[in-house]
A and B are shown apart, each in its own frame.
Chain A
Amino acid sequence: MTFSLFSRKKLEEKEKKIALLLSDLTSLEKYIEDLLNFSPLPICFISPLGVVLEINPAFEKVSGFPSEEIIGESIEKLFDAKEIAAISTETIAKGTVAGREMELRKKNGQPLIVRVFTRTRTDENAQTIGYFLGLFDLSEIKQSEQELKKVQTALLSMLEDTEEARKKAEEEKGKTQAIITNFTDGLLFFDKNCNLVLINPKAENFFGIGKKDFIGQPSAEMTNSPGLKKLINFLGPKMKSVSRQEFTLVKDVILEVSVILMKDSESSLGNLIILHDVSREKMVEKLKTEFVSLAAHQLRAPLSAIKWSLRMFLDGDLGSVKKEQKGIIEKAYEANERMVILVNDLLNVARIEEGRYAIETVPVDLVKICQSAIDFAKDSFKKKSIDFEFRQPEKPIMVSADKEKLILVVQNLLDNAMKYTKKHGQVSFALKETPKTVIVEVKDSGIGIAKDEQKRVFSKFFRTKEAVLTEPTGTGLGLYMAKNIIESHGGKIGFKSQLGKGATFYFSLEKRK
């Protein structure tokens, strides 16, 4: 009986062991099941012949097939037969395939790009009993990849456009640079802080400097070049905007200076200075004026001889003169007188042009000047029975002017009014004041000026057709001279007129404070 007790104990022990093992096994099975259920990665187990033996919930989800519909079916239900066969073969041969891209066919027919991993399982005899297949859903990644590709293409396109734009800009810059370098006028550019940022060869030439020495310098410090310094002083610290002002760099080098303020929509970018060489033009002007002056003086000598002899003839100083002779000699005398006047006007004009920038101004009472010119002209108006009216201001009006020259202007306006107004006409003379200026107005009821001739009224030697008919002996220089004089005083001169309805000539000057 001891044997059977021993056997029973052994049996009990064995049964206990078996129970424990079974429990472990169950635990293990449960563990594996939990693991497979948890895995977010789709995993399936496939037989060597390609039958799906096991799948996890993630696999169900990704394929769209519930486990009943796929377990026992061929893996070809999900993958292309050829492709999966290749994977299968490789897996079995190498034991594993890592990261092969394949297309999974979902239950609803939609293709899904996945990355496939496989590993075989072997038994105790190293026989392959099947392989695990895990996959990675690449759809999102693929989508991102697509999007990135799109972005990349777009960026490349933008880069191309930018590159093209840059090339164009370079080209334009090159063209602009070529223009600036070869420009026949001098160019300087000061930025908004008054630093010199650009100077072209022509400008370098004018000042005898090299751009390297001066680029970047603020205008206030350009003392090394006397010419440049002179220009900066001429323009003032704020670089006032001027247009074609004459500037004498050195003797015989005269430049027309223009300053252009450059700005974009909001702020100032700086100032562009253009220097145009007019030295030659000025020289020609000077020579012309000197010639006229000289010629006029030379002409006066023979004109004096003719004047004196004809006058003496007419006055009987050379013996008696017959009536018939007198008439013709008178005509000759008058013709000569006209020449004397013309030569005088030419000389005046030449002097005006010569002294354009050198009029001497002193404080003068404009009312007095007008009064003396009027006194001189009163008789001529009376002779023609022209009704002359002068509204004399009560107080003096002071201006800075060259008295001699200004009187010529007033005399000229009065003279014209007298010449071109018929007998019994009206002429009025008035001075008007605004806070800063004084305006002299001469209004007549005379022949007027036709619209198509108005533009040329102030031109040298120009006389309107009506004027020539009315008064054959004018020179056409009076208004030209008047304009020159008024403008060198910084004033303005003009007129309003209609043919046949008279004219109002006026000029304005700044009052002296």
Chain B
Amino acid sequence: MPQKILIIEDDKFLRELIIRKLSNEGYQAVEAVDGEEGVKAAKAEKPDLVLLDLILPGIDGFETLSRLKSDQETANIPIIILSNLGQKEDIEKGIKLGAVDYLIKAHFSPGEIIEKIVATLK
């Protein structure tokens, strides 16, 4: 069965690109455009991994992250943060809140993101 990846990203173009890449690589992609939708989708779809942006409309990425981690149903799903914020404080905060990795979108191509997903799901 193909592995399910949930992408929570508000930028339509980037979202579409990543979904296309995921499909090409044989993953099943689920999408959400903001934090609230993301939490709902995670509970409903139970993905194998979540790609989470930090700048989101409504509740921000960190808030979304804590909610996912504190809800029993979603607490065990590995979350990789995909963001263009790159300050040391942001990275530390993300890891502290439970993310397994923090990737800067401008530094990682979709292919490299897939590699990270593969490594995490091993």
Residues of A within 8 A of B (CB): 297, 300-301, 303-305, 307-309, 311-312, 315, 317-318, 340, 343-344, 347, 351, 404
Chain A contact surface mostly: helix
By a CB distance below 8 angstroms, the chain B residues around A317 are: 20-21, 24, 110
Known contacts A301-B84, A315-B111, A309 near B105 by CB under 8 Å: no
For B, the interface residue count at a CB cutoff of 8 angstroms equals: 20
Find residues 79-95 in chain B having any chain A CB closer than 8 Å to their own CB. Answer: 84-88
Verify A308–B14 contact, CB threshold 8 A: yes
By a CB distance below 8 angstroms, the chain A residues around B13 are: 305, 309
CB within 8 A of B109: which of A307, A343, A344, A351?
A: A307
| Closest partner residue, chain B, to A355 (CB atom) | B88
Verify B11–A340 contact, CB threshold 8 A: no
| Closest partner residue, chain A, to B85 (CB atom) | A297
Verify A297–B109 contact, CB threshold 8 A: no
Min CB distance A401 to B, Å, is 15
| Closest partner residue, chain B, to A339 (CB atom) | B106
By a CB distance below 8 angstroms, the chain A residues around B105 are: 300-301, 304, 308
Find residues 104-122 in chain B having any chain A CB closer than 8 Å to their own CB. Answer: 104-107, 109-111
| Closest partner residue, chain B, to A340 (CB atom) | B106
Interface string of B6-29 (1 = CB under 8 A from A): 000001011001101100100000
CA distance A410 to B11 in the complex (A): 37
Min CB distance B16 to A, Å, is 10
CA distance A304 to B87 in the complex (A): 17
CA distance A166 to B69 in the complex (A): 84
| Closest partner residue, chain B, to A309 (CB atom) | B17
CB pairs A–B below 8 angstroms (24 shown): A297-B84, A297-B85, A300-B105, A300-B106, A301-B11, A301-B105, A304-B106, A305-B13, A305-B17, A307-B109, A308-B17, A308-B18, A309-B13, A309-B17, A311-B109, A312-B20, A312-B110, A317-B21, A317-B24, A318-B20, A340-B107, A344-B106, A347-B86, A404-B88
By a CB distance below 8 angstroms, the chain B residues around A351 are: 87
CA distance A426 to B88 in the complex (A): 35
Residues of B within 8 A of A (CB): 11, 13-14, 17-18, 20-21, 24, 84-88, 104-107, 109-111
Min CB distance A99 to B, Å, is 108
CA distance A303 to B13 in the complex (A): 12
CA distance A499 to B104 in the complex (A): 39
Verify A305–B84 contact, CB threshold 8 A: no
CA distance A308 to B14 in the complex (A): 8
Min CB distance A235 to B, Å, is 33
Min CB distance B86 to A, Å, is 7
Min CB distance A375 to B, Å, is 20
By a CB distance below 8 angstroms, the chain B residues around A308 are: 14, 17-18, 105, 109-110
Other 16 A-B pairs with CB < 8 A, given A317-B20, A317-B24, A351-B87: A300-B105, A301-B105, A304-B14, A305-B14, A305-B17, A308-B105, A309-B13, A311-B109, A311-B110, A311-B111, A312-B20, A317-B21, A340-B106, A340-B107, A344-B86, A344-B106
| Closest partner residue, chain A, to B14 (CB atom) | A305
CA distance A409 to B77 in the complex (A): 37
Q: Which 5 residue pairs spanning A and B have beta carbons closest together?
A: A300-B84, A304-B105, A311-B109, A300-B106, A304-B106
By a CB distance below 8 angstroms, the chain B residues around A318 are: 20
By a CB distance below 8 angstroms, the chain A residues around B11 are: 301, 305
Verify A343–B17 contact, CB threshold 8 A: no
CA distance A317 to B110 in the complex (A): 10
By a CB distance below 8 angstroms, the chain B residues around A297 are: 84-85
CA distance A309 to B106 in the complex (A): 12
Min CB distance A87 to B, Å, is 117
CA distance A311 to B105 in the complex (A): 13
CA distance A308 to B86 in the complex (A): 18
By a CB distance below 8 angstroms, the chain B residues around A315 are: 111
| Closest partner residue, chain A, to B11 (CB atom) | A301
Min CB distance A418 to B, Å, is 20
CA distance A305 to B105 in the complex (A): 9
By a CB distance below 8 angstroms, the chain A residues around B24 are: 317
